[in-house]
Structure 1
Amino acid sequence: MGVGARVFVVDDEDAVRDSLQALLEVAGFEAQCFPSARAFLDWVAVDQIGCLLVDVRMPDIDGLELQRRVGATCPGIAVVMMTGHADVPMAVQAMKAGAVDFIEKPIAREALLAAIRRAVAHADERGRAAVERSSEEAKISSLSVRERQVLAGLVAGHPNKVIAHRLEISPRTVEIYRARLMDKMQAHSLPELIRMAVVAGVEPD
């Protein structure tokens, strides 16, 4: 966890937001607070990276619904739920839906900071993966139909002769397509090309 990692606090109670912001900033985080899920959703960008610390029970849009919406649109944000004792079943539901952790109120400082550090590390990893996936998908989109067919054959582990037979082209032509793929995908080796294709979601032939 680097100094200045971002934590987004969503809670409808002013006193809770103020105390959490002070605690987080003293611990070296960059804290940004929102009074409602709606306010956060209106602000957040799809490429945002950080930890979302959110109360389960809020008016209008509750924590579980906010988690669902953020999970669908912001892959670089990891969620930590805050919950009262009676809300533990809801927090368990949040964990099953992908929350990194849940903190029971009244909040213990060290437990909160430990959960946020885990969430920040998780968010960084997911954010980097999302950026890589987007980059590889953009490269894939530049390929011709035939190049994609050859790439799918390579992902399946087929040798040039098999790919050539399936596509009804010569093995030499397959070699030419492989060279084009290496160039367009900016890959330095066949294993790297395959890894890029898998990251981008290319299915084997």
Structure 2
Amino acid sequence: MEDDDALRRALQLMLYNQGYQVRAYPSAAHALADPSATDASVLVADYRLPDSDGIALLGALRSRDWNGRAVLVTGFPSPSLTASANLAGYAAILEKPVPHHRLLAAIASN
């Protein structure tokens, strides 16, 4: 989940080339409108979205019984954001710009 079109497309292609099936959305509303979004095993979401934030998005998905792994990326890290993200259920919080190897490690980690 990334609102920047170019970055979203680059991440989508990188993950696809690593063998992942990828769905990419420009906003929380787009993700939540797609019934297949809850089929995903991993959520990678930006904290700041045009219509919401990554923590609210994860909460909405959890309310739909989605129990996958969640990774939050942010350009605005802080101890309070980390605490909120962990409490919401994010397994990893990564600071932008995120090197591809760190994102792949966070996705694959158990």
SS where residue 54 of structure 1 aligns? Answer: strand
Paired residue for 1:83? Answer: 74
Q: What does the per-residue CA deviation read over 1:10-47, in whole Å, with 9 as the maximum and x for residues that have no partner?
A: 11110110110111112111111101000000003485
Distance 1:25 1:87 in 2: 27
Task: Say whether the 8 Å CA contact 2:12–2:24 is kept in structure 1.
Answer: yes
Deviation of residue 54 (structure 1)? 0.4
- Higher Rg of the two aligned structures: 1
Distance 2:53 2:5 in 1: 16
Normalized per residue, the structure richer in helix is 1
Q: What does the per-residue CA deviation read over 1:103-135, in whole Å, with 9 as the maximum and x for residues that have no partner?
A: 1101111110011112xx5xxxxxxxxxxxxxx
1:102-121 equivalences in 2 (<5 Å)? 102-118=93-109
The answer for unaligned runs of 5 or more in structure 2 is none
Paired residue for 1:94? Answer: 85
SS where residue 39 of structure 2 aligns? Answer: coil
For these two proteins, the number of residue pairs brought into alignment is 109
Identity within the alignment, %: 31
The answer for unaligned runs of 5 or more in structure 1 is 1-9, 122-205
Greater relative contact order (Cα 8 A, min sep 6): structure 1 or 2? 2
SS where residue 30 of structure 1 aligns? Answer: coil
Task: Say whether the 8 Å CA contact 1:81–1:91 is kept in structure 2.
Answer: no
Q: CA RMSD in A?
A: 1.8
Equivalent in 56, 59, 71 of residue 50 of structure 2: 59
Distance 1:47 1:107 in 2: 25
Task: Say whether the 8 Å CA contact 2:2–2:25 is kept in structure 1.
Answer: yes
Distance 2:5 2:67 in 1: 26
**Counterpart AA for 1:65:** A
Equivalent in 23, 30, 34 of residue 43 of structure 1: 34
Deviation of residue 92 (structure 1)? 3.1
Distance 1:74 1:41 in 2: 13
Paired residue for 1:18? Answer: 9
Task: Say whether the 8 Å CA contact 1:48–1:76 is kept in structure 2.
Answer: no
